[in-house]
Amino acid sequence: MAKQVEIKYTQLFIDNEFVDAVSGRKFSTINPANGEVIAEISEGDKADVDKAVDAAKRAFARNSKWRKMDPYDRGQLMHKLADLITRDLDYIATLETRDNGKTYASAVGDIEAGIACLRYYAGWCDKIQGNTIPTGDTYVTLTRREPIGVVGQIIPWNYPFLMLIWKWGPALATGCTLILKPAEQTPLTALYTAALAKEAGFPAGVINVIPGYGPTAGAAIAEHSEIHKVAFTGSTEVGHAIMAAAAKSNLKRVSLELGGKSPLVIFDDVDVKEAAEIAHDAIFVNHGQCCCAGSRTFVHSKIYDEFVKHAKQLALAKKVGDPFDSKIDQGPQIDQEQLNKIMDLINSGKQQGAVVEVGGNRIGETGYFVQPTIFSNVTDDMRIAKEEIFGPVQTILKFDTMDEVIERANRTNYGLASGIITKDINKALEFAQAIESGSVWVNCYDAITSQAPFGGFKQSGIGRELGEEGLNEYLEIKTISIKVTKNN
């Protein structure tokens, strides 16, 4: 049964203090396992974003404590925050499961990955270096890499804690100050982590958290003329709106990690059972609520029927229910809106002639549970093969040749991730070079690490997160040229 946990923080976090929204409004955050209200959360909007920006500007001022801090000490603060998260891991994971619905084991994994990512970026604080550039003997030319300033960050509900760390890590390592808006569905772990940041000793104004809705709080961040960069993870539709707002305001820097319809291509030279297991995890991880999910499973015609048989067995064995039960593999979807979207797409697959091998229905009337679902005989023109479902639905398509499958895999507006399963290194390399995606996973899937960049081609995004490349999104490069006066 669900673990009971005290909800300690429900207000906005501005300038190292928890405060009510200026408007006094609140909104409910819901437990997706039963539809019940967990807590009432202060609802931030433009007035609160303005307050947070003022605090962040003070924290970034030229002679502020944060700006004058030795980079090594900044890294130590980040390590201290990681220590506190480690101390409270069980509590944070419990909050995450109640607020999001992912299994407790999955939540623990997310928190542990977040700790590793935070420590990775802590190590970068005193290693962000410029260059000297040869420009003849008249000038000495060098570059400095400086923090971009006050940044806005907007994160999604599918990985609430992990996406927070992906955003905070490089922003703090580079010396920026930030305003983060968590998804309205999942604000609890962001608010708690803000409290830990204060406990760790971050100066007031460096970290601010404004729960609220996209059209109000999120738009206020995207439109704010004194925020110099906005980082967003979420839907491609909202990504368009954020870019437009950035253009109309102050041409702030934008990085976007958006949707996907990622192909996983399985050739006929593989262990079919093992390939089915990789493909199963690729789509069903986090209840299918993953931007880089392997949501188009292309299987070679020679092994197609055998593959479908194995995929079906894996889905039938999947246990759905209370996410705090250690025997459960899949909890609820995030909310009613997402449930409705998933069921609409499942129904479209049925109507357009795909074969339901497993599942295809909602489970019960309490909470937002969906049966693990597999469609075979899927064709490229079906909605389930083109639209991002963001749910536990595997679509299995048939192919015959490399050229054919590359062309079909690339025939999408998305380009976030991809995978290939084959024993032939030449096939793997040909695919890796031809596919239009930011990540290519060979004989594996979701091999994401803090050290390696992550992001998308085409309408799956702009810029990169993680790795050294993730730092560049928060840095400006300044060129300094010094004239050399010669003594004759």
Which residues are designated catalytic?
257
Which CA distances in Å does 200 have to 81, 164, 167?
Answer: 5, 17, 18
Strand pairing class (26-31; 36-42): antiparallel
Determine contact, residues 316/309, Cβ cutoff 8 Å. no
What's 218's DSSP letter?
I
d(CA 314, CA 372): 10
What's 443's DSSP letter?
S
Q: Which of 393, 381, 411 is CA-nearest to residue 295?
A: 393
Beta bridge partners of 41: 27
Q: Which of 189, 164, 181, 37 is CA-nearest to residue 102?
A: 189
Sign of the four-CA dihedral 234, 240, 241, 245? positive
E-strand stretches of 82-173: 132-133, 139-147, 150-154
DSSP 3-state of 259: coil
What's 165's DSSP letter?
H
3-state SS of the chain: helix, strand, coil percent to 5? 40, 20, 35
Residues 6+ apart with CB under 8 A from 8: 192, 195
d(CA 421, CA 265): 6
Tokens of 416: 């976030």
Strand pairing class (207-209; 177-181): parallel
Which CA distances in Å does 399 have to 304, 309, 415, 430?
Answer: 9, 17, 20, 16
d(CA 199, CA 196): 5
Tokens of 7: 């909800």
What is the identity of the amino acid at 62?
R
What's 202's DSSP letter?
P
Tokens of 216: 């109000």
What is the identity of the amino acid at 256?
L
Q: Which helix (H) or strand (E) holds 468?
A: helix 467-472
- Could you give the residue ranges of the DSSP H alpha helices within 297-362? 304-316, 336-351
Determine contact, residues 177/206, Cβ cutoff 8 Å. yes
Sign of the four-CA dihedral 235, 33, 286, 393? negative
